[in-house]
Amino acid sequence: MPRPAFRAFIGPATARPQLWRLLLGLIVAALIYAAVCVAVLAPAVLRQPATDAGDTLASLVEARTPGATLLLLATFAGMALGVMVAARFLHGRRPGTLIGPASRALRDFVTAVTVVGAVYAVAVLVWAWRYDSLPGLDLGTWLPLLPLAVAGLLIQSGAEEMLFRGYLVQQLAARFRSPLIWALLPGVVFGLLHFDPVTAGGNAWLAVGAATAFGLVATDLTVVTGSLGAAWGFHFAKNALAVLLLATKGTITGLALRRTPYGVDAEDGSRWLILGDIGLLVVAWLILRRILTTR
């Protein structure tokens, strides 16, 4: 039986739970997201000669510079907008219902950022005993960009949570009783969308597993709290570390203060570190869940 807070969270989705509405809503959201991506990225591409347009687009997607990374993060505003439009016009829902009660969401967000930040800070200190990080942006460049970077990460992490733990989980839970459908399916889809054999090489499926594990953890936190706050805070804190503080070489490094000496495709190092990250994920989840369910 779902917790009362979660029943209230999915309540707005029960008015129009038909699957055709959900499927059409996902198509609408995808089209709006694609349109915003074009609107954000096209000006930078069109300023280049036609022969260089492909290389320019690739460099933007790879996000190896501050400007490219900020543009990439900005595109996620389209994902958030698409989900809100789908919820409003296909399900008659206000955008706020995708997140849950505002005061609870804010409180849980702050709690999650604090707990996850503390756990991963300890992990970085342990990591530093074994590895020497490489320089990224110098501090004088990094600090002025930090407010924009934080805003971009809030948009990116919030948009993904609104789609996967908000819209998808709510509409599926309103239609199906089994958590194998409304909890497991969005988590698996979230993980599969992180499949990137070009970047991750032989670690691609392991990275999918790590993303799926996070998706399931985020769904559980949403169930026990009845809002996206904890999942959003968890997601934001993890990405802030991976994008702003210590980025893995070959991933999104354009805003990072430091970089790892190995790439995400390095089977001798990254494979074990991805497994370690899954372990950290579980530790942070257990601590956070304990705090959220006992206060």
Distance, in Å, from the CA atom of 54 to the CA atom of 122, rounded to the nearest integer, reads 41
Pick the more confident residue, 75 or 56: 75
Assess whether pLDDT exceeds 70 at residue 268: no
Q: What is the mean pLDDT of residues 231-243?
A: 97
Element (H, E) at 268: none
pLDDT at 1 over 50: no
pTM of the model: 0.93
Of the pLDDT bands very low, low, confident and very high (cuts 50, 70, 90), residue 241 is very high
The CA distance from 119 to 31, in Å, is 38
Nearest to 65 by CA among 256, 217, 236: 256
Least confident of 54-58, 196-200, 231-235: 54-58
Residue 31 confidence (pLDDT):
98
> Residue 235 carries which side chain, given as an amino acid letter?
H
Mean pLDDT for 33-45 is 89
The answer to whether 203 touches 272, Cβ cutoff 8 Å, is: no
User: Could you tell me which residues come within 8 angstroms of residue 70 by beta carbon, excluding any fewer than 6 positions away?
Assistant: 145, 148, 149, 152, 254, 255
Question: How confident is residue 201, by pLDDT bands cut at 50, 70 and 90?
Answer: confident
Residues 6+ apart with CB under 8 A from 40: 71, 74, 75, 78
Band of the pLDDT at 44, cuts 50, 70, 90?
Answer: confident
